[in-house]
Amino acid sequence: MSEVRTKAALAKEAAAVMNRMTTVQKNEALLKMADALIAEQAILLEANEKDIRNGEANGTSSSLLDRLKLNPSRIEAIAEGLRQVVELEDPIGTVLETFDRPNGLHIEKHRVPLGVIGMIYEARPNVTVDAAGLCLKTGNPVVLRGGSAALETNRAIVGVMRQALAETALPVEALQMIEDSNRSSVDEMLKLNGLIDVIIPRGGASLIQNVVQNATVPVIETGAGICHTYVDASALPKMAEEIALNAKVQRPSVCNSMETLIVHSGYAEKHLSSMAERFREKNVELRGCERAQKLVSWVRSASEQDYATEYNDYILNIKIVDDLDEALAHIRRFGTMHSECIVTESQENAARFLAEVDAATVYHNASTRFTDGFEFGFGAEIGISTQKLHARGPMGLPALTSTKYVVKGSGQVRG
């Protein structure tokens, strides 16, 4: 049997035991894992050093190497993340609804674990620990498949965490890591219906599209974000500038940053040049429609392809529109249903925008950068769902649960 099937089967077997674990038992395990990561940090740093050396030898980019790099303070932060998950309320076991039927049946809807979760992600070692913590806290075994660039680091991390689990009530086999770094191991995970209950991909657009296109196991799609900010005619210029600037440059590499600024023509004629100046100060390259180019001479021409691109970089499209309808149509065409914002003083336009834009999160007068589990107060997040099924937007612990109907009778049969 392949590594993937063997480990997924072990995880599946552990699911029944995980189902029975109490909140106290799960929290104890997470704290043991956190302590072990600190206590065994020499092992982690040594393994990480190998990944870094391999990366350097393979010409990996310095930004990727930086994301991969561990040091004592990063390990402390990762362990602290686990401790924070301990503080979160355990959603498992909650009774969401109860109802009694005329025939005397008593029906309860309970929150239960999702089952075996397959995580497919890239080279950030902190995802290994975050995902393990969030899945185990919600009673779910997890099969981790991280990027090959972090293989040594992830193996060391998972080894340390499994050793810690061995001293707890939780089954060690609830935490699995696929070491086969061939693409075929991902392909196999995607088709393991019956052993893996849900796949959650985290990473760039190509990783996510591979999962969505090839999985037969149910998927929670995350991540891709072509986010817009629409500055309406009545927007306050200072507020509009601060929100737009923040949405673009506070952290351009992430999914909730802005890719296209849509500006009402009335606002643009008076204020676009000053807004453009703010972006120039931050070294943001501007591309735009003809009308934007007329108002700001150094704006380059934006193609259809540009409007459809998630730059994740210091590049911004500008599109001038004559009314809210034109803005809504642009978002409908190019948005990825992630995060969309209107800056306006018109309550009527705000209400229409919030109601009509079909996205996980819609904003009135605030930066799209707030689409985040921590910013929403969830305390942690396993990802940001961009699909409409099951969970939408930042996913906290409840997104890692399912439900079960428990029916209590006294001999009822159907007539």
Residues that bind its own copies (CB under 8 A): 15-16, 19-20, 99, 101, 105, 107, 112, 114-115, 193, 197-198, 212-213, 216, 218-221, 236, 239, 242-243, 245-247, 250, 328, 332, 354-356, 358-367, 369-371, 375-377, 387-390, 392-394, 402-414
Q: Of the two residues 295 and 307, which places its CB atom closer to its own copies in the complex?
A: 307
> Taking a C-beta distance cutoff of 8 angstroms, is the pair 95, 408 a contact?
no
Answer for the pair 121, 201: CB distance below 8 angstroms, yes or no.
yes
For 31, the token pair is 């704290």
Among the listed residues 143, 136, 187, 130, the one whose alpha carbon sits nearest the alpha carbon of residue 11: 143
Whichever of 284 and 362 has its CB closer to its own copies, that residue is: 362
**Residue 224 three-state SS:** coil
**Rounded CA gap, 242 and 157, in Å?**
40
The backbone torsions φ and ψ at residue 191, rounded to the nearest 5 degrees and listed phi first, read -110, 10
What DSSP state is assigned to residue 303? P
Run of H or E residues at 200: strand 198-202
Closest approach, Cβ 114 to its own copies, in A, equals 5
The amino acid occupying position 411 is G
Q: How far is the CB of 405 from its own copies (least distance, A)?
A: 4
- CA–CA distance, 89 with 405 (Å, rounded to integer): 22
Provide, rounded to whole angstroms, the least separation between the CB of residue 71 and its own copies. Answer: 24
Q: Which is nearer to its own copies, 151 or 395 (CB)?
A: 395
Output 268 or 384, the one with its CB closest to its own copies.
Answer: 384
Which of residues 70 and 219 has its CB atom nearest to its own copies in the complex? Answer: 219
Beta carbon nearer to its own copies, 24 or 407: 407
- The residue among 161 and 400 lying less far from its own copies, judged by its C-beta, is 400
Range list of β-strands (E), 43-188:
95-100, 106-113, 117-121, 142-145, 175-177
Contact 111, 403 (CB under 8 A): yes
Residue 330 CB, shortest distance to its own copies, in Å, is: 13
Cβ(382)–Cβ(200) below 8 Å: yes
Residue 410 C-beta: closest distance to its own copies, Å: 6
Rounded to a whole number of angstroms, the minimum distance from the CB of residue 23 to its own copies is 15
Q: Least distance (Å) from its own copies to the CB of residue 322?
A: 19
Helix (H) or strand (E) holding 199: strand 198-202
